[in-house]
Amino acid sequence: MSDSDNKEVSSEETKGENEEENKAETKEAGQTEEKEQDSSQAETNANTNADQATESSESKKPEKKGSKIGKKLGKKDSKVFKEEFSEVVETSEEPNPDALPENVFPLFMTSKTQEIYNCKCDEDVTEENPFKFIPKSDILEDMKMRAAVCDFHPFKQQILDYPGEDVLIVYDYDFKHGQNFIVALTEEAKELLLKAPEGEEGEGGEDGAEEEEDDTVYLYVPPEPKDWVSLGSEKEIEESNVKELRRKLKVSVKRLRREFGAPVSFADRNVTDVKDGAVDCTSYDDNSFNIKRIELDKAVQAISEQVTEGTQTDWKYPRNANTQTYPREYTEDEQAALLATKECGDFVLEVAFEFHQALQQNEIMNVFYVDWIHLGDGDDVFGSKADNHLKEYQSFTDLQFSKDKMITCIQWHPTIKGVVATSVAEKLSFDQRIDNAAKVIMTPSLILIWSFADPIHPQLILESPDDIFSFAFNPTDPNHIVGGCLNGQIVMWDIAAHADRLKQQRGSNRNKKRTVLPGFEDPNALKTPIVRYCAVSSIEHSHKAAVTDIQWLPDHMQINKMGVPQENASLQCTQLLSCATDHCVMLWDTKASKLQHTAMYDEKRKTQQPSGVADTFKHLDLTWKPILRVTLSKSEPGGDHAPTKFSIQERQGDRHALTSGTEHREADVTQTMQGGFHKPSSGKERTLQGVKTYIYVGTEDGEIVYVDWMPQKDQDTGKIQSKLFLLDMFYETSKSFLIMAGVFPPNLKHHKLDIFII
Amino acid sequence: MSQEIDETIKRILAHKGVIGAIIVNNDGIPLKSTLDNSTSVHYASQIHSLASKARAVIREIDSSNDLRFLRVRSSKHEILVAPDHDYFMIVIQKDAAN
């Protein structure tokens, strides 16, 4: 049997060969050890295949190597098999769908066999219906008939032992288990196969059916109680339990009977005699109360008050109610009757008078007519009410020269009516000038002379080296103009050459009365002539800051080097005063000094004057020095006064100083402090006695000071310097203002000053 | 009697600007009117209450005093009221100056 087994086995697997050898060797010793072995036994008996090997190999592999001896033949009791199988069941119970349940073996059935048992593939048994029950007797017969050729031969013993009548054959369509059929060799296996055909069938062919069935069948597996693992909690319980560890003790306390109620005598005992005589219960800090509860966890729950209230309202709904009235009326008869009564008649006559009065009153005049409201009604007819403010009459702008510039000074021409001169300067602050220095230098600084007849083109343009901030016409010779520059220089112009231009008034520029021959036209005829300055003061000796005010001295006086006002015989304005913010008032003379005069002739310096420039003041050019300089120093330290405007008492055209001087001569002695003097006249010029030598100066700080231009000999120091007086009365009010203009009224008596403060 | 009344009223109406005249009795019912009925009734009722109030004012301030004449000047008209114990008379005059 074993040989035949071996043959069959060996034809299929090499593994079987090995096992056969083992079987041959350990045939005898196998029986006792079969029990120890598990499914390896079954394998050796049956046709082994890969699948089965997987099943059993899981449990068997480790044993295989070391258990050559263990492998035994399979001829043993079915009981043993069963035991082994049961072991197999226990150990390899993994629900491996591919693994065959126990006692189920793959079986190959040849076509002949299939014919015999009527279980041809795809005929009797199909994928869908893979089960076939073959009677046991048939198998046995077949085995007898064909012996080893029978497919069932390997299972012969099992078939013999098979308890049931029919053996279940399951068609294994996919050869899942290695062969085309599976045979169940025990009842349990049969049941299993039948019970769970879905899994196998699905594996065999119908996957879909298997899945469905898996989804729907949920078997409740109650949890199995596991062994209790101690984690130590029972010790706590043991500790808290009260156990009797020992027997209870009994103590009996007795006292002598005769001592009950016996008299006792007490004695005193000193505390200190005995140790422990007194027991102190001192107070001690119990730390348990030391812990301050600083943080409390508290919770508050608030619920809203709920009140149930009810009210009952009277619903007074508005109702529309209408009343319609009819006036009571009398019938005509009633009326007539009433009117006819005496009372009525009397009444009417009585009140008639009142009415007449009232009506007449109303006729005469309307007492409620308000005159005030209608006051100006009559004037509305002819235009608006009179303008009290200035209306611009004419404006003079030159697009080229005066655009975007500010006008720093404006003066009337002394003699020619309708001619004004304005000085224009750049609208830049000091810092801006520095920033734009290059540009500022290039743009020419001008004085524009306008005629009212021509508001577009200036009649004349005077050019100056720097922006002019104040200038003045010479009252006696209007062709001389002096101006004070931004840099402190004094500039002179002589416009004698163009004087007749100014005299022409009406549209003279364009309509030349003289006919001009073509070809000989002067292209510059229509252009405004530009006059260059003819003299500038010496830079060193000029002001060091911008000249804020410049005035010609009246023609009847002149001031000499000592500040003495003298009579000016020529009655021409030759001297001028200028003040600047460098705290100085300077007196200039336009006449050539003797020295200069001679120098010029001696050296014969006929330096070329630039064309078009008069040489009237050539002697002054670049060397002009002031005759007199009056510094406005403050008595307290902190800078000197910076004058913005000044005014002297003497007026151009007011000649009375010339005449009044003689009268005051005797009274001079007492007038030293007032600016008079008693210096005897020297030289051919007559000194003017009555002239007050004060200059009233308004300063940048808002103060008004007056200074005597004539330096007095200082009593204390012996120095000759000008005295400066401060007009205290103005100090407080004008402290924050800048004096812009001051006019000295020609009133000798009072030190009255009209001051315009801005 | 009624003739005299008519004459008086005619003379009153002759004044410049007079629109109309109404004689009203104590209850506010017009007795004679130169205006149409509805207007005179209207005036009568309104003026009646006004005149009573005016009288009450005067008498409140000085009980020996009494209202003699009442002129109500409006922007368009002037209403002249002469009250009496039993009757009162209303004359409406247009603003003569305009």
Reported as a single tens digit per residue, the pLDDT across A585-612 is 888 888 766 555 554 444 444 455 556 5
Average pLDDT over residues A164-177: 74
From chain A, the residues in CB contact with B68 under 8 A are 354
Q: Which of A19-28, A219-228, A619-628 has the highest mean pLDDT?
A: A219-228
Structure tokens at B88: 């009162």
pLDDT exceeds cutoff 90 at B54: yes
CB contact under 8 A, B41 and A329: yes
pLDDT exceeds cutoff 70 at A25: no
pLDDT at A756: 52
Q: Using 50, 70 and 90 to split pLDDT, how confident is the model at A736?
A: very low
CB contact under 8 A, B15 and A356: yes
DSSP state of A125: B
Rounded CA-CA distance A673/A683 in Å is 25
Size of interface A-B (CB pairs under 8 A): 102
Q: Which of A58-72, A85-99, A357-371 has the highest mean pLDDT?
A: A357-371
Average pLDDT over residues B62-88: 90
Q: Which residue in A has a C-alpha nearest to residue B16's C-alpha? A: A363
Average pLDDT over residues A425-441: 77
pLDDT at A214: 54
CB contact under 8 A, A348 and B69: no
The answer to whether A337 faces chain B, any CB pair under 8 Å, is no
Structure tokens at A561: 């080097």
Q: Using 50, 70 and 90 to split pLDDT, how confident is the model at A38?
A: very low
Residue whose pair of structure tokens reads 């072991």 in the numeric block = A87
Q: Of the given ranges (A65-79, A159-173, A469-483), which has the lowest mean pLDDT?
A: A65-79
Q: Of the given ranges (A37-46, A194-203, A666-675, A682-691), which has the lowest mean pLDDT?
A: A666-675
From chain B, the residues in CB contact with A368 under 8 A are 73
Rounded CA-CA distance A675/B11 in Å is 94
From chain B, the residues in CB contact with A327 under 8 A are 29, 41, 44-45
- 3-state SS assignment for residue A500: helix
pLDDT exceeds cutoff 90 at B57: yes
CB contact under 8 A, B11 and A352: yes
Average pLDDT over residues A68-86: 45
Which of A342, A344, A346, A349 should be substituted to probe chain B, the one whose Cβ sees the most B Cβ atoms within 10 Å? A344
Q: What is the mean pLDDT of chain A?
A: 70
Q: Which of A430-444, A706-720, A729-743, B11-25 has the highest mean pLDDT?
A: B11-25
Average pLDDT over residues A319-339: 85
Q: Which residue in A has a C-alpha nearest to residue B15's C-alpha? A: A359
pLDDT tens-digit readout, A558-595 = 777 777 777 777 777 888 888 888 888 888 888 766 55
Q: In sequence order, what DSSP letters do the residues of B39-82 get, joined into one string?
A: HHHHHHHHHHHHHHHHHHHHHHH-TT-----EEEE-SSEEEEEE
- Is residue A479 a contact partner of residue A460, using CB atoms and an 8 Å limit? no
CA A383 to chain B, closest CA, distance in angstroms equals 26
pLDDT exceeds cutoff 60 at A737: no
pLDDT exceeds cutoff 50 at A410: yes
Average pLDDT over residues A84-90: 44
pLDDT at A250: 92
Rounded CA-CA distance A644/A584 in Å is 10
Q: Of the given ranges (A119-128, A564-573, B63-72), which has the lowest mean pLDDT?
A: A119-128
pLDDT at A446: 84
- Is residue A43 a contact partner of residue A92, using CB atoms and an 8 Å limit? no
Where would I find the H helices in A590-630?
594-603
Q: Which of A204-218, A399-413, A661-675 has the highest mean pLDDT?
A: A399-413
Amino acid at A32: T
Percent of chain B having pLDDT more than 70?
97
pLDDT at A629: 80
Q: Closest partner residue to A348 among B23, B37, B96, by Cβ? A: B23
Average pLDDT over residues B15-19: 89
Rounded CA-CA distance A650/A655 in Å is 9
Where would I find the H helices in A26-92?
30-34, 39-45, 50-66, 78-91
Average pLDDT over residues A22-48: 47
pLDDT at A419: 84
Rounded CA-CA distance A67/A291 in Å is 76
- N- to C-terminal Cα distance for chain A? 147
- Is residue A586 a contact partner of residue A632, using CB atoms and an 8 Å limit? no
Residue whose pair of structure tokens reads 């209850």 in the numeric block = B27
Q: Using 50, 70 and 90 to split pLDDT, how confident is the model at B92?
A: very high
Which of A347, A364, A368, A369 should be substituted to probe chain B, the one whose Cβ sees the most B Cβ atoms within 10 Å? A347
Q: Closest partner residue to B2 among A339, A359, A366, by Cβ? A: A339
Rounded CA-CA distance A695/A648 in Å is 5
Rounded CA-CA distance A268/A148 in Å is 126
Which of B48, B84, B85, B94 should be substituted to probe chain A, the one whose Cβ sees the most A Cβ atoms within 10 Å? B84
Report ipTM (2 d.p.): 0.84
CA B94 to chain A, closest CA, distance in angstroms equals 9
Average pLDDT over residues A518-529: 64
From chain A, the residues in CB contact with B18 under 8 A are 359
Q: Which residue in A has a C-alpha nearest to residue B84's C-alpha? A: A347
Q: Of the given ranges (A30-44, A481-495, A504-518, A571-585), which has the lowest mean pLDDT?
A: A30-44
The answer to whether A335 faces chain B, any CB pair under 8 Å, is yes
Average pLDDT over residues A20-25: 48
Percent of chain A having pLDDT more than 70?
62
pLDDT at A99: 63
Rounded CA-CA distance A477/A590 in Å is 12
- Is residue B69 a contact partner of residue B82, using CB atoms and an 8 Å limit? yes
CB contact under 8 A, B1 and A363: no
Q: Using 50, 70 and 90 to split pLDDT, how confident is the model at A222?
A: confident
Q: Closest partner residue to B31 among A335, A350, A363, by Cβ? A: A335
Distances (CA, A) of A179 to A18, A158, A159, A204, A480: 21, 19, 18, 12, 144
Average pLDDT over residues A547-552: 87
Q: Which residue in B has a C-alpha nearest to residue A363's C-alpha? A: B96
Average pLDDT over residues A53-70: 44
Looking at per-residue confidence, does A38 or A299 come out higher? A299
pLDDT at A66: 41
Average pLDDT over residues A473-479: 85
Rounded CA-CA distance A421/A403 in Å is 16
Find residue A171's DSSP bridge partners: A181
pLDDT exceeds cutoff 60 at B3: yes
pLDDT at A713: 56
pLDDT exceeds cutoff 70 at A2: no
pLDDT at A69: 44
CB contact under 8 A, A339 and B11: no
Residue whose pair of structure tokens reads 């403050």 in the numeric block = A634
- 3-state SS assignment for residue A40: helix
Residues in B whose CB is inside 8 Å of some CB of A read 1-2, 4-5, 8-9, 11-12, 15-18, 23, 25, 27-32, 37, 41, 44-45, 68-69, 71, 73, 78, 80, 82, 84, 86-87, 89, 91, 93, 95-98
Burial A681-709 (b: 16+ CB within 10 A, else e): eeeebebbbbbbbbbbbbbbbbbbbbbbb
The interaxial angle of helices A197-204 and A207-216, nearest 10 deg, is 150
Rounded CA-CA distance A455/A399 in Å is 11
Structure tokens at A408: 């720093």
Average pLDDT over residues A525-543: 79
CB contact under 8 A, B15 and A351: no
CA A373 to chain B, closest CA, distance in angstroms equals 16
